[in-house]
């Protein structure tokens, strides 16, 4: 067995390293820079090149970090490690681990839908595949991004014509930049929260094209507030920061908006179904494309997913991890 579950996280005994550990370890291979997968305290880190800026800004400029490109192989104690696109956020990767003819792939978080802000998910053939299942229920099926972006732009234009701001709550890392890539900047100004701005800069530094955005402090004509599309983390919508956008229409972009009850609980005017995780068909297609005979499920709807896998004739199990969804990410970063 190449990867086992230990109190610190997913551990490769042959290579003596961990993948996205949640306790401090000597060697950590990181799938992406969301806070539940990339934590402070490890002695050495390995991650994709495009994760470097965000990892250093969140964990510390002085961390011992080795970066590699997709497909580049490195060796740890005779175990070959290589990273492949996960399609989740900037620099997100699946970790391919090979030793003595056995191949495991740990996917981290992933989505199969196209995204202009990060490399597309790439299936990797393996013997054992470790998959998330954040949205591992048949009810979760995403529409084409273009339809969702068109709805957001229409909502923004209608609010602008009514002279009120459009405040769109979304997760700061990944979701905000994906939304920015689909906005029609001719509608009006785009204002971002201070939690979103440094991540935008990291994306732009990595070569991702995003429209012009402003911080509140950079807006000299306050009349722009009523015409603006305002991107902020969910926690900011009820904060003093949001008070300057009087009578704003407040929306939330998340896969959880598939359930109308979630929107009502949050008190949002509009819910836009947009997720950086694979939906039910996406999880199924991704798993099948690996040709793995064994699949281990981590966070999400583990019981449902393992039952479906067993029905497909696969060997299935689960790891109880400390990974969360994107809401956990926002709490960790903005606490």
pLDDT at 335: 30
pTM: 0.94
Distance, CA of 96 to chain centre: 19
Q: What are phi and psi of 20, to 5 degrees?
A: 50, 50
Report the Cα 143 to chain-centroid distance in Å.
18
pLDDT tens digit sequence for 92-146: 999 999 999 999 999 999 999 999 999 999 999 999 999 999 999 999 999 999 9
What span, in angstroms and rounded, lies between the C-alpha atoms of 195 and 331?
Answer: 12
CATH number, domain 145-272:
3.40.50
Provide the pLDDT for residue 332: 37
First and final C-alpha spacing in the chain: 38
- Strand segments, DSSP code E, in 43-92 are 44-48, 65-68, 73-76, 79-85
State the pLDDT at residue 260: 65
Topology agreement, domain 3-140+277-334 and domain 145-272: no
What size, in residues, is the chain?
335
Taking only Cα atoms into account, the Rg of the chain, rounded to an integer number of angstroms, comes to: 20
Q: Which residues contact 212 (CB under 8 A, 6 or more apart)?
A: 185, 190
Q: Give per-residue pLDDT as tens, 14-32.
A: 999 999 999 999 999 999 9
CATH superfamily, domain 3-140+277-334, is Ribonuclease Z/Hydroxyacylglutathione hydrolase-like (3.60.15.10)
Question: Which residue matches tokens 């009514």?
Answer: 162
**Nearest-angstrom CA–CA distance, 196 and 231:** 8
Mapping DSSP onto H, E and C, the string for 249-275 reads EEEEECHHHHCHHHHHHHCCCEEECCC
Residues of the chain with pLDDT under 70: 1, 260-265, 325-335
By percentage, how much of the chain surpasses pLDDT 90? 93
Residue ranges of the domains in the chain?
3-140+277-334, 145-272
């Amino acid at each position: 067995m190449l990867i086992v579950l230990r109190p610190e996280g997913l551990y490769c005994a042959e290579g003596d390293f961990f993948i996205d550990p949640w306790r401090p370890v000597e060697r950590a291979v990181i799938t992406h820079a969301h806070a539940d997968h990339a934590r402070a305290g490890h002695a050495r880190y390995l991650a994709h090149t495009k994760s470097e800026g965000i990892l250093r800004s969140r964990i510390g400029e002085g961390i011992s970090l080795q970066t590699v490109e997709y497909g580049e192989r490195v060796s740890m104690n005779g175990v070959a490690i290589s990273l492949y696109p996960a399609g989740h956020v900037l620099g997100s990767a699946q970790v391919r681990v090979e030793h003595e003819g056995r191949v495991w792939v740990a996917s981290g978080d992933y989505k199969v839908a196209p995204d202009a802000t990060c490399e597309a998910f790439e299936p990797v053939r393996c013997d054992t595949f470790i998959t998330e299942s954040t949205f591992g229920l048949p009810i979760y099926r995403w529409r084409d991004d273009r339809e969702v972006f068109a709805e957001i732009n229409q909502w923004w234009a209608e609010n602008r014509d009514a002279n009120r701001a459009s405040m769109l709550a979304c997760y700061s890392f990944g979701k905000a930049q994906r939304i920015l890539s689909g906005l029609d900047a001719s509608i009006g100004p785009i204002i971002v929260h201070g939690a979103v701005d440094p991540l935008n800069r990291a994306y732009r530094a990595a070569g991702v094209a995003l429209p012009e955005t402003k911080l509140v402090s950079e807006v000299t004509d306050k009349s722009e507030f009523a015409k603006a599309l305002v991107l902020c983390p969910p926690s900011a919508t009820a904060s003093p920061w949001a008070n300057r956008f009087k009578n704003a229409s407040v929306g939330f972009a998340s896969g959880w908006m598939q359930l109308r009850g979630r929107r009502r609980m949050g008190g949002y005017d509009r819910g836009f179904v947009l997720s950086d995780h694979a939906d039910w068909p996406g999880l199924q297609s991704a798993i099948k494309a690996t040709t793995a005979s064994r699949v281990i499920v981590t966070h999400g709807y583990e019981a449902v997913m393992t039952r479906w896998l067993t029905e497909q004739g696969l060997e299935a199990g689960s790891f109880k991890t400390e990974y969360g969804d994107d809401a956990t990410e926002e709490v960790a970063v903005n606490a």
